[in-house]
Amino acid sequence: MRIATWNVNSLKVRLPRVEEWIDQVRPDVLCMQETKLADDAFPALTFASLGYESVHHGQGQWNGVAILSRVGITDVVTNFAPASGDPDPDARIITAACGGVLVSSVYVPNGRALDNDHYQYKLSWLAQLRRHLDAVGSPTAQVVVMGDFNIAPEDRDVYDPRKFVDSTHVSAAERQLLAELHGWGLTDLFRQHHDVDRVYSWWDYRAGDFHQGRGLRIDLVLGTTAVADRATWSVIDRNARKGQSPSDHAPVVVDLVDDTVASS
DNA sequence: ATGGTAGCGCTGCTA
């Protein structure tokens, strides 16, 4: 089973490229973020014609998350699970069971600046994400959380850490909250296969950052041990960041061997 | 040096 995540930065603008990419890569499950669409504008029929069921949680203009699957979509939870606390006013998380794996598509708040209220929102959002996982899943089950975390886990995920002193995406507090998700039982499925530096998933549109190699690895695929044991390969598809009208993010793809032992 | 681009939607916000 091939799973993937991609912050598409407007599905309205990016749909042709997303269709092309799906045709090339044929993921079984694709999580998207920043669709920037209302639910009634989500192109479910287009994806259905490609063989995918889909669920979308959008608000229009900003945010918006989706899951596409050709291995089934059941047990859909839109927004945070009620047991985790108050619902998020933004459309940043949707969860569903796909092919025996519980999948969450997440768009973690950016944070903007350490002294901004939005940064406190980011921290509380990450804390609630853990409570959400307790409400919908278990560390011993097959659970994947993937999306735009807006956190570079380590300095080696940042093109120049000196430029990010006292910035969001690298602060100790948000990295600690990410570590607590690891403590819950999630591992970074890209890092499982690539112990290398300077591999990024996002590059600012400005100043030729992509072609200058100035990026961050902030799009993550996290999986419980039951999923990590099945993960045979992962790749960040930099080609999707090239060419005409790209998203500022590249997709992250993880391949899982078929689950022959248990399925539910 | 506080830039630079992209998307949304129409003025400035968000990233």
Q: In the structure, how far is the CA atom of residue A40 from the C1' atom of nucleotide B8, in angstroms?
A: 17
- Whether A206 sits with its Cβ under 7 A from any strand B atom: the answer reads yes
Cα A253 from Cα A4, distance rounded (Å)? 4
Domains of chain A: 2-258 (3.60.10.10)
Q: What is the pTM of this model?
A: 0.97
Nearby residues of A57 by Cβ (< 8 Å), 6 or more positions away: A39, A64, A65, A66, A78, A79, A91, A93, A94
Q: Which amino acid is at A87?
A: P
Closest nucleotide to A35, Cα to C1': B7
- Whether A112 sits with its Cβ under 7 A from any strand B atom: the answer reads yes
Q: In the structure, how far is the CA atom of residue A10 from the C1' atom of nucleotide B7, in angstroms?
A: 7
**Do A148 and A7 touch, CB atoms closer than 8 A?**
yes
Cα A220 from Cα A187, distance rounded (Å)? 10
Closest nucleotide to A12, Cα to C1': B7
Q: In the structure, how far is the CA atom of residue A95 from the C1' atom of nucleotide B13, in angstroms?
A: 29
Closest nucleotide to A204, Cα to C1': B5
CA nearest to nucleotide B6 C1': residue:
A205
- The tens place of each residue's pLDDT in chain A, 264 residues long, gives 999 999 999 999 999 999 999 999 999 999 999 999 999 999 999 999 999 999 999 999 999 999 999 999 999 999 999 999 999 999 999 999 999 999 999 999 999 999 999 999 999 999 999 999 999 999 999 999 999 999 999 999 999 999 999 999 999 999 999 999 999 999 999 999 999 999 999 999 999 999 999 999 999 999 999 999 999 999 999 999 999 999 999 999 999 999 766 554
- Whether A176 sits with its Cβ under 7 A from any strand B atom: the answer reads no
